[in-house]
Amino acid sequence: MSTINTELQNKLKKTAAVKAADYVKDDMIVGLGSGSTVTMLVDELGRQVQEEGLKFTGVSTSISTAKQAKSLGIKIVDLDSIDTIDLTIDGADQVDSDFNGIKGGGGNLLWEKIVAANSKKLVWIVDKSKVVDRIGAFPLAVDVEPFGSHHVLKKFSDAGFNPVVRTDKDGKVFKTDSNNIILDLHLHEINNPDKLADTLINTVGVVEHGLFLNAVNEVVVGKEGAPQILINSKVHPSYQ
């Protein structure tokens, strides 16, 4: 994973976000992801709603994204009020050449995966530092039911997953929008993501994990010059 300074990274994030906004057309139902790059996307979509008359309906993967979108005049509806989502645009913490990704750095992986699984098309927006040869260097978030979570933590420790209970800026246990906790697994490298995904989701107490395997249709990568669009011609979502 390449390292870039914050100023350049933010510039590349915005480049990807603005490009991805072109995917949104009138009358679409659009899933809006979470994270810093999506914040830039929502800002751009809000501008288009206010200045260019863009009309679409959003479904949010987090309370914070919904609040931002509504403040910019974007209509937000509940997922259960619609049949399907035309397009979801979200960020990613890492993505490899097989279109396997890690998400959940912001703690919204459960809602992100639910929205993605109910979308006709999934697009990720990232800066170039997020594109890697093999995922795993970024901590893998696992959404866990608080009841009995100590036992899940112990199982993951015994398995060599190096789990850490996520805390917020005040040092308190981080809670998701569903009031669950996050265990961050420090794995360094994931050689068999399908096997790991199966192990995690079959651990009693685990609600969801941040592995998104071959689920994304396109990745818009912010790079110097113009964004690069990576197209997954063999997309076959695996949401185990």
141 assigned to a ligand binding site = no
Q: Are residues 84 and 41 in the same domain?
A: yes
pLDDT at 9: 95
Q: What is the mean pLDDT of residues 62-73?
A: 98
The domain that contains 166 carries what CATH number?
3.30.70.260
Q: What is the mean pLDDT of residues 117-134?
A: 97
> Does 13 reside within a domain?
yes
* Run of H or E including 164: strand 163-165
Q: Are residues 73 and 156 in the same domain?
A: no
Q: Is 7 a catalytic residue?
A: no
Task: Work out the pLDDT band at 15, boundaries 50, 70, 90.
Answer: very high
Q: Are residues 121 and 157 in the same domain?
A: no
Q: Are residues 104 and 156 in the same domain?
A: no
In the set 112, 189, 208, 218, the catalytic residue is 112
Q: Are residues 193 and 225 in the same domain?
A: no
Query: pLDDT for 183-195, tens place per residue?
Result: 999 999 999 999 9
Number of domains in the chain: 2
* Run of H or E including 39: helix 36-52
97 assigned to a ligand binding site = no
Q: What is the mean pLDDT of residues 168-196?
A: 97
Q: Are residues 202 and 226 in the same domain?
A: no
Task: Give percent of the chain with pLDDT exceeding 70.
Answer: 98
The domain that contains 126 carries what CATH number?
3.40.50.1360
Domain range spanning residue 84? 6-131+213-231
Q: Are residues 151 and 106 in the same domain?
A: no
> Does 238 reside within a domain?
no
Cβ atoms within 10 Å, residue 202 = 9
Q: What is the mean pLDDT of residues 27-56?
A: 98
> Does 188 reside within a domain?
yes
> Does 240 reside within a domain?
no
d(CA 223, CA 49) in angstroms, rounded, equals: 26
Q: Are residues 24 and 97 in the same domain?
A: yes
* DSSP letter string, 65-115: HHHHHHHTT-EE--GGGSS-BSEEEE--SEE-TT-EEE--TTS-HHHHHHH
pLDDT at 171 over 90: yes
> Does 115 reside within a domain?
yes
> Does 84 reside within a domain?
yes
pLDDT at 73: 98
How far is the CA of 89 from the CAs of 125, 136, 157, 219, 228, in angstroms? Answer: 7, 22, 34, 9, 16
130 assigned to a ligand binding site = yes
Question: What 3-state class would DSSP assign to 201?
Answer: helix
> Does 1 reside within a domain?
no
Question: What 3-state class would DSSP assign to 205?
Answer: coil
Length of the chain: 240
90 assigned to a ligand binding site = yes
35 assigned to a ligand binding site = yes
> Does 236 reside within a domain?
no
pLDDT at 30 over 60: yes
* Run of H or E including 38: helix 36-52
- The b/e string for 105-118 (b: 16+ C-beta within 10 A; e otherwise) is bbbbbbbbbbbbee
pLDDT at 137: 97
Q: Are residues 117 and 145 in the same domain?
A: no
Q: Are strands 228-231 and 218-222 parallel, antiparallel or unpaired?
A: antiparallel
Q: Model's pTM, two decimal places?
A: 0.95
Q: What is the mean pLDDT of residues 84-100?
A: 97
pLDDT at 66: 98
pLDDT at 145: 99
Query: pLDDT for 137-159, tens place per residue?
Result: 999 999 999 999 999 999 999 99
pLDDT at 240 over 60: no
How far is the CA of 21 from the CAs of 16, 55, 100, 138, 215, in angstroms? Answer: 9, 13, 23, 27, 20
